[in-house]
């Protein structure tokens, strides 16, 4: 049985091509928030030597010379397309772990199936996803998660049909550097290189005793996974969080208190939505602001300033969060400072069903606010985010992120449906 199948679900460039077939075969890059750095590249863009994380201003000349298509991040579209792909995977395999927006682990439980049978299953799943969503995925098959990640890497690089099977005894391991391994960073590489371990095959020959002594239990598990012994099973979906945070950088520096307050009110709104989605409430919130370190000023405070407050009663009510966040912003704000980023964090989270009441807080008002938030969320889910919002958020968020090259949110906004 193939225990761990990892699927590279989508990349952002693929999402852009689904709704614009003219982009097929063209080099594409997707930029981060505020159109800062490259966060996704098509294979054609990689072939041009555009590195991941490169600031956009450094590649402007190359983009123009090679006619590279450039897009701002469209996370609303990418998340929706990812959800569609995930639903197809879960329909074909009950044991599925959604690892990230673009990756999932599956355990098909095909007892007695041969390698060829599993490759056929993976190929059929790939064709189904492509037909239903237009998204090409690559599938790596192996006995462990770590090897499956490597198999997925080979599926993207070497396989014409996007699938690849890898075993602990496969000769390909002698060609792959240890930097390709899941969880191996620069520190691991330096320590392993000191004992002449440069490839995955070299690592597989290391003794378990030495690996545990040098890298602890985590390193020992990595070694066993490379040898084909599964140490990590599929993880259940996260149903609750220990903390939540919402933060963004501004397209332009913010100098005025009302504008900064509007930004934090929007982030508090998003935080409330996240809390209610997971059925939790927060007892403590922290607001932080960042000054622009690239434009230092005289008497400028610390680059990052933060304040926290303990709420009288644990809450996920957007109005409550905006109220307390606004008080913290007014205390943090200093005139003349160029603020580049702000955020809000919720800690000491509790389930909504087990919140300790306060003798001095009206319980009836808390129940009414919960009903109000339920109605608010229902309207925004049906009609689109921010259809109904609190006035404190403002109606002209000039501080919002720059997205000059963003494509349409074709699957989630009525006003942005494709016109044929």
The domain locations on the chain are 5-165, 171-227, 244-393
Query: Residue 70: which pLDDT band, with cuts at 50, 70 and 90?
Result: very high
List pLDDT tens digits, range 168-191: 999 999 999 998 898 888 888 889
Q: Give the neighbor-by-neighbor strand order of the sheet with 38-41.
A: 38-41, 28-31, 69-72
Task: Supply the pLDDT for residue 397.
Answer: 57
Lowest-confidence region among 53-67, 321-335, 357-371: 357-371
Average pLDDT for 217-230: 92
Q: Topology of domain 171-227, per CATH? A: DNA polymerase; domain 1 (1.10.150)
CATH number, domain 244-393, options 3.30.2030.30, 3.40.50.150, 3.40.50.1820, 3.30.1490.100: 3.30.1490.100
pLDDT exceeds cutoff 70 at 213: yes
User: To which CATH superfamily is domain 5-165 assigned?
Assistant: Reverse transcriptase/Diguanylate cyclase domain (3.30.70.270)
Q: Rounded distance, CA 65 to CA 62, Å?
A: 5
Domains 171-227 and 244-393 share a fold: no
Residue 1: predicted pLDDT = 40
Q: For residue 360, count other CB atoms closer than 10 A to its CB.
A: 7
* Mean pLDDT of all residues belonging to the chain: 86
Summarised one tens digit per residue, pLDDT across range 86-139 is 999 999 888 888 888 889 999 887 666 788 888 898 999 999 999 999 999 999
pLDDT reading at 359 higher than 70: no
- pLDDT tens digits, one per residue of 265-284: 999 999 999 999 888 999 99
| Residue 164's pLDDT band (cuts 50, 70, 90) | very high
Above 90 in pLDDT, residue 332?
Answer: yes
Which structure tokens are listed for 281?
């409430």
CB 345 within 8 A of CB 285: yes
Distance CA 403, CA 384 (A): 19
């Amino acid at each position: 049985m193939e225990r761990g199948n990892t699927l590279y679900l989508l990349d952002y460039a693929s999402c852009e091509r689904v709704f614009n077939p003219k982009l097929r075969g063209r080099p594409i890059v997707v930029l981060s928030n505020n159109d800062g750095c490259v966060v996704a590249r098509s294979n054609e863009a990689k072939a041009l030597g555009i590195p991941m994380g490169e600031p956009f201003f450094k590649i402007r000349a190359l983009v123009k010379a090679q006619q590279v298509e450039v897009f701002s991040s469209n996370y609303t579209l990418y998340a929706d397309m990812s959800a569609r792909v995930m639903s197809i995977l879960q329909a074909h395999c009950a044991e599925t772990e959604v690892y990230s927006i673009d990756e999932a682990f599956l355990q098909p439980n095909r007892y007695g199936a041969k390698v060829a049978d599993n490759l056929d299953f993976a190929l059929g799943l790939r064709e189904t996803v492509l037909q239903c969503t237009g998204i090409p995925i690559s599938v790596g098959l192996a006995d462990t998660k770590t090897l499956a990640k490597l198999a997925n890497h080979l599926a993207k690089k070497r396989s014409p049909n996007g699938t690849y099977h890898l075993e602990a005894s496969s000769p390909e391991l002698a060609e792959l550097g240890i930097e390709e391994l899941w969880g191996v960073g620069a520190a691991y590489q330096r320590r392993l290189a000191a004992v002449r371990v440069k490839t995955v095959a070299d690592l597989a020959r290391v003794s378990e005793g030495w690996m545990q002594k040098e890298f602890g239990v985590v390193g020992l598990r990595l070694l066993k996974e490379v040898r084909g012994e599964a140490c990590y099973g599929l993880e259940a979906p996260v149903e609750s969080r220990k903390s939540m945070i919402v933060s963004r950088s501004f397209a332009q520096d913010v100098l005025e208190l009302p504008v900064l307050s509007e930004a934090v009110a929007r982030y508090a709104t998003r935080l409330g939505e996240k809390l209610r989605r997971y059925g939790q409430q927060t007892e403590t919130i922290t607001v932080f602001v960042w000054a622009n370190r690239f434009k230092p000023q005289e008497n400028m405070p610390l680059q990052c300033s933060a304040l926290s407050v303990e709420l009288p009663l644990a809450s996920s009510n957007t109005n409550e969060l905006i109220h307390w966040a606004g008080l913290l912003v007014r205390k943090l704000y200093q005139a003349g400072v160029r603020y580049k980023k702000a955020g809000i964090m919720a800690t000491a989270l509790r389930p909504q069903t087990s919140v300790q009441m306060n003798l001095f807080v009206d319980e009836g008002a808390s129940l009414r606010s919960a009903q109000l938030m339920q109605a608010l969320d229902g309207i925004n889910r049906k009609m689109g985010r921010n259809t109904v919002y609190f006035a404190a958020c403002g109606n002209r968020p000039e501080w919002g992120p720059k997205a000059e090259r963003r494509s349409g949110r074709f699957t989630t906004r009525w006003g942005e449906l494709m016109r044929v």
